[in-house]
Amino acid sequence: MGEPLPEPRIDIEPIGADGSVGLKFNQDMVAPDTLDPTLYRKIFAMDISSGLDGTNIKGGFGKQKTGEERRRMLAEQGLDESDGAAALSFRLEVTEHTARGIKIKTVFDNP
């Protein structure tokens, strides 16, 4: 029998210039054979705060939001498109998932 595994740990890397965030594991985890966005919908979410006005926008996995979906999302946060928050609408996309890490990219709806 081998040595016991350490407590599981996830290190979150700083966001890169391309909008990607890396998550690194300290031990092997189960990784899927193919990347399926539906696997991550209830596991990860991300908020981005505007350095200009403090607006906080939530992003998740899925397709680009339609105008109505974006307005509903903003309304749930007490915002509307006149706040400039519509430009911050984004979704998340897993670009890599291995036994030791995941790379998640932010994809803005209106870059």
For residue 79, is it left (φ>0), alpha (ψ between -120 and 50) or beta?
A: beta
Render each residue's pLDDT in the chain as its tens digit; 111 residues: 678 888 999 999 998 998 899 999 999 988 888 887 777 777 777 777 777 777 777 777 765 566 676 677 667 767 666 666 555 667 888 899 999 999 998 887 665
The conformational region for residue 100 under phi > 0 = left, psi -120 to 50 = alpha, else beta, is: alpha
Q: Which of 111, 102, 86 is nearest to 44 (CA)?
A: 102
| Cβ-contact 57, 71 below 8 angstroms | no
Q: pTM, whole model, 2 decimals? A: 0.67
Interior angle at CA 41, CA 36 and CA 42, nearest 5: 130
